Structure 1
Amino acid sequence: MFDQYFQGWEVRPEFQPEFISLWEGWLGPGHIHELDQVAEPQWQRFNALLKLVVERYDVLRADPERSQVTLISNPDEITQSFDASMAKDASQFVRLVIPALGCVLAEDWDFTYILWYKDQAAVDALAPLVESAGLHHFRRSAA
Protein backbone atom coordinates (compact mmCIF):
# COMPACT_ATOMS: atom_id res chain seq x y z
CA MET A 1 0.00 0.00 0.00
CA PHE A 2 2.92 2.37 0.67
CA ASP A 3 3.69 2.64 -3.06
CA GLN A 4 0.13 3.79 -3.84
CA TYR A 5 0.83 7.01 -1.93
CA PHE A 6 4.59 7.56 -1.88
CA GLN A 7 7.70 7.52 -4.04
CA GLY A 8 10.47 7.20 -1.50
CA TRP A 9 10.07 10.01 1.01
CA GLU A 10 7.73 12.08 -1.18
CA VAL A 11 4.00 11.90 -1.79
CA ARG A 12 3.32 10.77 -5.35
CA PRO A 13 3.06 13.67 -7.83
CA GLU A 14 -0.53 12.95 -8.84
CA PHE A 15 -1.74 14.15 -5.42
CA GLN A 16 -2.75 17.79 -4.87
CA PRO A 17 -1.99 19.75 -1.69
CA GLU A 18 -4.45 21.40 0.67
CA PHE A 19 -2.70 23.25 3.50
CA ILE A 20 -3.84 23.02 7.12
CA SER A 21 -2.59 25.79 9.36
CA LEU A 22 -3.20 28.00 12.38
CA TRP A 23 -3.87 30.83 9.92
CA GLU A 24 -6.38 31.29 7.11
CA GLY A 25 -3.63 31.63 4.50
CA TRP A 26 0.06 32.28 4.01
CA LEU A 27 1.46 34.76 6.50
CA GLY A 28 3.64 36.64 4.03
CA PRO A 29 6.71 38.73 4.92
CA GLY A 30 4.76 41.28 6.97
CA HIS A 31 3.40 38.64 9.34
CA ILE A 32 6.15 36.01 9.44
CA HIS A 33 6.92 37.05 13.04
CA GLU A 34 3.67 35.31 14.06
CA LEU A 35 5.47 31.97 13.72
CA ASP A 36 7.63 32.93 16.71
CA GLN A 37 4.54 33.78 18.76
CA VAL A 38 2.89 30.36 18.56
CA ALA A 39 2.44 28.93 22.05
CA GLU A 40 1.60 25.42 23.17
CA PRO A 41 -2.20 25.93 23.33
CA GLN A 42 -2.28 26.96 19.65
CA TRP A 43 0.04 24.16 18.64
CA GLN A 44 -2.14 21.60 20.49
CA ARG A 45 -4.81 22.17 17.82
CA PHE A 46 -2.80 19.85 15.57
CA ASN A 47 -2.90 17.09 18.20
CA ALA A 48 -6.65 17.68 18.45
CA LEU A 49 -6.96 17.22 14.68
CA LEU A 50 -4.94 14.00 14.74
CA LYS A 51 -7.14 12.60 17.52
CA LEU A 52 -10.31 13.47 15.59
CA VAL A 53 -8.99 11.82 12.43
CA VAL A 54 -7.96 8.63 14.25
CA GLU A 55 -11.35 8.46 15.99
CA ARG A 56 -13.21 8.73 12.67
CA TYR A 57 -11.01 6.76 10.23
CA ASP A 58 -8.56 3.90 10.04
CA VAL A 59 -5.22 5.67 9.83
CA LEU A 60 -1.88 4.22 8.78
CA ARG A 61 1.47 5.73 9.70
CA ALA A 62 3.89 5.77 6.78
CA ASP A 63 7.49 4.76 7.34
CA PRO A 64 9.41 5.95 4.25
CA GLU A 65 12.62 4.38 5.49
CA ARG A 66 11.06 0.90 5.37
CA SER A 67 8.53 1.68 2.59
CA GLN A 68 5.66 0.44 4.73
CA VAL A 69 2.58 1.59 6.61
CA THR A 70 1.26 0.48 10.00
CA LEU A 71 -2.17 0.89 11.54
CA ILE A 72 -2.50 3.50 14.28
CA SER A 73 -4.58 2.01 17.09
CA ASN A 74 -4.27 4.94 19.49
CA PRO A 75 -3.84 8.66 18.69
CA ASP A 76 -1.15 8.87 21.39
CA GLU A 77 1.10 7.00 18.94
CA ILE A 78 1.27 10.09 16.72
CA THR A 79 0.70 13.06 19.04
CA GLN A 80 3.62 14.78 20.73
CA SER A 81 4.39 17.39 23.31
CA PHE A 82 5.06 20.92 22.12
CA ASP A 83 8.74 20.73 23.07
CA ALA A 84 9.28 17.38 21.32
CA SER A 85 7.60 18.68 18.19
CA MET A 86 9.72 21.84 18.10
CA ALA A 87 12.93 19.81 18.46
CA LYS A 88 12.42 17.34 15.62
CA ASP A 89 13.68 17.51 12.07
CA ALA A 90 11.80 16.85 8.82
CA SER A 91 12.72 13.15 8.78
CA GLN A 92 10.65 12.75 11.94
CA PHE A 93 7.51 14.46 10.62
CA VAL A 94 4.43 12.27 10.76
CA ARG A 95 2.96 11.05 7.45
CA LEU A 96 -0.43 9.42 7.68
CA VAL A 97 -2.45 7.53 5.09
CA ILE A 98 -6.24 7.56 5.33
CA PRO A 99 -7.21 4.74 2.95
CA ALA A 100 -10.99 5.37 3.13
CA LEU A 101 -10.37 8.86 1.70
CA GLY A 102 -7.43 7.95 -0.54
CA CYS A 103 -5.27 10.69 0.94
CA VAL A 104 -2.16 11.49 2.96
CA LEU A 105 -2.01 13.86 5.92
CA ALA A 106 1.59 15.00 6.34
CA GLU A 107 3.23 17.24 8.91
CA ASP A 108 5.29 20.04 7.42
CA TRP A 109 7.22 23.14 8.47
CA ASP A 110 5.92 26.34 10.04
CA PHE A 111 2.89 24.96 11.89
CA THR A 112 1.41 23.44 8.76
CA TYR A 113 0.12 20.03 7.77
CA ILE A 114 -0.57 19.15 4.15
CA LEU A 115 -3.51 17.08 3.06
CA TRP A 116 -2.44 15.34 -0.16
CA TYR A 117 -5.47 14.16 -2.14
CA LYS A 118 -6.70 13.12 -5.58
CA ASP A 119 -10.41 13.55 -4.95
CA GLN A 120 -11.99 16.71 -3.51
CA ALA A 121 -14.17 14.42 -1.39
CA ALA A 122 -11.18 13.91 0.94
CA VAL A 123 -10.94 17.66 1.57
CA ASP A 124 -14.70 17.87 2.07
CA ALA A 125 -14.68 14.95 4.54
CA LEU A 126 -11.83 16.33 6.63
CA ALA A 127 -12.84 20.02 6.56
CA PRO A 128 -15.25 19.72 9.52
CA LEU A 129 -12.54 17.99 11.59
CA VAL A 130 -10.00 20.68 10.68
CA GLU A 131 -12.43 23.40 11.68
CA SER A 132 -13.48 21.56 14.86
CA ALA A 133 -9.81 21.49 15.90
CA GLY A 134 -9.62 25.29 15.47
CA LEU A 135 -7.49 25.14 12.34
CA HIS A 136 -7.89 26.47 8.79
CA HIS A 137 -7.34 24.91 5.37
CA PHE A 138 -6.53 26.53 2.05
CA ARG A 139 -4.99 25.88 -1.34
CA ARG A 140 -1.65 27.11 -2.61
CA SER A 141 -3.17 30.21 -4.25
CA ALA A 142 -4.33 31.57 -0.88
CA ALA A 143 -2.27 34.50 0.36
Structure 2
Amino acid sequence: MTAPEHGFGPQSIRAMELEDLDAVQAIENAAQLTPWSTSHFRDCITNANYLCQVVTRDDDPVAFLILSRILDETHVLNVVVAPAWQRRGIARLMLEQAMDQARKDAMSVMYLEVRESNTGAQVLYRQLGFDVCGVRKNYYRKGDGHENAVLMQCLLSGGHK
Protein backbone atom coordinates (compact mmCIF):
# COMPACT_ATOMS: atom_id res chain seq x y z
CA MET A 1 0.00 0.00 0.00
CA THR A 2 1.49 3.32 -1.00
CA ALA A 3 0.62 6.21 1.27
CA PRO A 4 0.34 9.84 0.24
CA GLU A 5 3.19 12.19 0.95
CA HIS A 6 3.22 13.69 4.44
CA GLY A 7 6.18 16.05 4.36
CA PHE A 8 8.89 13.42 4.05
CA GLY A 9 8.59 12.07 0.52
CA PRO A 10 6.93 8.95 -0.83
CA GLN A 11 6.59 6.10 1.61
CA SER A 12 4.67 2.88 1.90
CA ILE A 13 3.17 0.86 4.71
CA ARG A 14 3.68 -2.89 4.43
CA ALA A 15 3.82 -5.99 6.58
CA MET A 16 6.94 -6.32 8.71
CA GLU A 17 9.09 -9.23 7.62
CA LEU A 18 11.84 -11.15 9.37
CA GLU A 19 14.32 -9.44 7.03
CA ASP A 20 13.32 -6.10 8.63
CA LEU A 21 14.39 -7.14 12.13
CA ASP A 22 17.82 -5.45 12.08
CA ALA A 23 16.35 -2.15 10.90
CA VAL A 24 13.40 -2.35 13.29
CA GLN A 25 15.71 -3.14 16.21
CA ALA A 26 17.92 -0.16 15.30
CA ILE A 27 14.87 2.15 15.27
CA GLU A 28 13.68 0.71 18.60
CA ASN A 29 17.11 1.10 20.22
CA ALA A 30 17.45 4.69 19.02
CA ALA A 31 13.99 5.81 20.13
CA GLN A 32 13.05 3.87 23.28
CA LEU A 33 14.32 4.14 26.85
CA THR A 34 13.69 0.42 27.40
CA PRO A 35 13.80 -1.25 23.96
CA TRP A 36 12.23 -4.56 23.08
CA SER A 37 14.54 -7.43 22.17
CA THR A 38 14.90 -8.85 18.68
CA SER A 39 13.33 -12.11 19.88
CA HIS A 40 10.28 -10.14 21.07
CA PHE A 41 9.86 -8.66 17.57
CA ARG A 42 10.38 -12.09 15.98
CA ASP A 43 7.67 -13.57 18.21
CA CYS A 44 5.24 -10.81 17.18
CA ILE A 45 5.92 -11.28 13.46
CA THR A 46 5.29 -15.02 13.65
CA ASN A 47 2.11 -14.83 15.80
CA ALA A 48 -1.16 -14.63 13.87
CA ASN A 49 -2.78 -12.47 16.58
CA TYR A 50 -0.33 -9.64 15.93
CA LEU A 51 -0.29 -7.15 13.12
CA CYS A 52 3.24 -5.87 12.49
CA GLN A 53 3.86 -3.14 9.92
CA VAL A 54 6.69 -0.93 8.79
CA VAL A 55 6.71 2.40 7.01
CA THR A 56 9.48 2.50 4.44
CA ARG A 57 11.13 5.24 2.48
CA ASP A 58 13.26 4.07 -0.44
CA ASP A 59 12.57 0.51 0.81
CA ASP A 60 14.23 1.23 4.17
CA PRO A 61 12.11 1.05 7.34
CA VAL A 62 11.78 4.41 9.11
CA ALA A 63 8.96 3.46 11.51
CA PHE A 64 6.92 0.51 12.70
CA LEU A 65 3.66 -0.37 14.41
CA ILE A 66 2.75 -3.53 16.30
CA LEU A 67 -0.84 -4.33 17.27
CA SER A 68 -2.48 -7.27 18.95
CA ARG A 69 -6.01 -8.17 17.97
CA ILE A 70 -8.20 -10.35 20.15
CA LEU A 71 -11.92 -10.73 19.58
CA ASP A 72 -13.14 -7.18 18.83
CA GLU A 73 -10.29 -5.34 20.58
CA THR A 74 -7.10 -3.95 19.12
CA HIS A 75 -4.18 -3.01 21.37
CA VAL A 76 -1.34 -0.79 20.16
CA LEU A 77 1.71 -2.48 21.63
CA ASN A 78 4.48 -0.45 20.04
CA VAL A 79 4.60 2.47 17.65
CA VAL A 80 8.02 3.96 16.95
CA VAL A 81 9.39 6.40 14.41
CA ALA A 82 13.15 6.69 13.90
CA PRO A 83 14.36 9.90 15.59
CA ALA A 84 15.46 11.46 12.27
CA TRP A 85 11.91 11.00 10.91
CA GLN A 86 9.86 12.13 13.89
CA ARG A 87 7.41 15.06 13.78
CA ARG A 88 6.56 14.45 10.11
CA GLY A 89 3.17 12.77 10.51
CA ILE A 90 4.39 9.19 10.21
CA ALA A 91 2.93 7.95 13.50
CA ARG A 92 -0.38 9.64 12.66
CA LEU A 93 -0.37 7.97 9.23
CA MET A 94 0.27 4.51 10.70
CA LEU A 95 -2.37 4.89 13.39
CA GLU A 96 -5.03 6.31 11.05
CA GLN A 97 -4.48 3.41 8.66
CA ALA A 98 -4.64 0.89 11.51
CA MET A 99 -7.81 2.48 12.89
CA ASP A 100 -9.46 2.43 9.47
CA GLN A 101 -8.59 -1.25 9.05
CA ALA A 102 -9.82 -2.07 12.54
CA ARG A 103 -13.16 -0.43 11.75
CA LYS A 104 -13.42 -2.43 8.51
CA ASP A 105 -12.71 -5.58 10.51
CA ALA A 106 -15.52 -4.74 12.98
CA MET A 107 -13.19 -4.02 15.89
CA SER A 108 -15.01 -2.03 18.58
CA VAL A 109 -12.17 -0.48 20.56
CA MET A 110 -8.47 0.30 20.34
CA TYR A 111 -6.32 0.59 23.47
CA LEU A 112 -2.81 1.84 24.13
CA GLU A 113 -0.51 2.82 26.96
CA VAL A 114 1.73 5.86 26.77
CA ARG A 115 4.35 7.16 29.16
CA GLU A 116 2.94 9.81 31.46
CA SER A 117 5.83 12.09 30.42
CA ASN A 118 5.15 11.66 26.67
CA THR A 119 2.75 14.57 26.33
CA GLY A 120 3.40 14.95 22.60
CA ALA A 121 2.12 11.44 21.90
CA GLN A 122 -0.85 11.99 24.20
CA VAL A 123 -1.84 15.06 22.16
CA LEU A 124 -1.67 13.01 18.95
CA TYR A 125 -3.77 10.22 20.45
CA ARG A 126 -6.41 12.69 21.63
CA GLN A 127 -6.53 14.20 18.13
CA LEU A 128 -7.19 10.70 16.78
CA GLY A 129 -10.13 10.19 19.15
CA PHE A 130 -8.49 8.45 22.11
CA ASP A 131 -9.61 9.28 25.66
CA VAL A 132 -7.84 8.61 28.95
CA CYS A 133 -9.47 5.66 30.71
CA GLY A 134 -6.96 4.89 33.45
CA VAL A 135 -3.42 4.88 34.77
CA ARG A 136 -1.11 1.91 35.17
CA LYS A 137 1.15 2.68 38.13
CA ASN A 138 4.89 2.10 37.63
CA TYR A 139 4.24 0.46 34.24
CA TYR A 140 7.37 1.60 32.41
CA ARG A 141 10.98 1.23 33.51
CA LYS A 142 12.82 4.53 33.59
CA GLY A 143 16.48 4.69 34.48
CA ASP A 144 16.64 3.34 38.01
CA GLY A 145 12.93 3.80 38.66
CA HIS A 146 9.53 3.51 37.05
CA GLU A 147 6.99 5.75 35.36
CA ASN A 148 3.22 5.56 35.16
CA ALA A 149 1.46 4.73 31.92
CA VAL A 150 -1.62 6.58 30.81
CA LEU A 151 -4.15 4.07 29.47
CA MET A 152 -6.15 5.42 26.53
CA GLN A 153 -8.96 4.00 24.44
CA CYS A 154 -10.74 4.89 21.23
CA LEU A 155 -14.23 3.55 20.62
CA LEU A 156 -14.03 2.69 16.93
CA SER A 157 -17.74 2.31 16.30
CA GLY A 158 -18.24 5.97 17.25
CA GLY A 159 -16.80 7.17 13.94
CA HIS A 160 -13.81 9.07 15.34
CA LYS A 161 -11.16 9.83 12.79
Q: TM-score scaled by structure 2?
A: 0.26
**Higher RCO (CA < 8 A, seq sep 6+):** 1
Q: When you count strand as a share of all residues, which structure comes out higher?
A: 2
More helix by share: 1
- Name which one, 1 or 2, has greater alpha-carbon Rg: 2
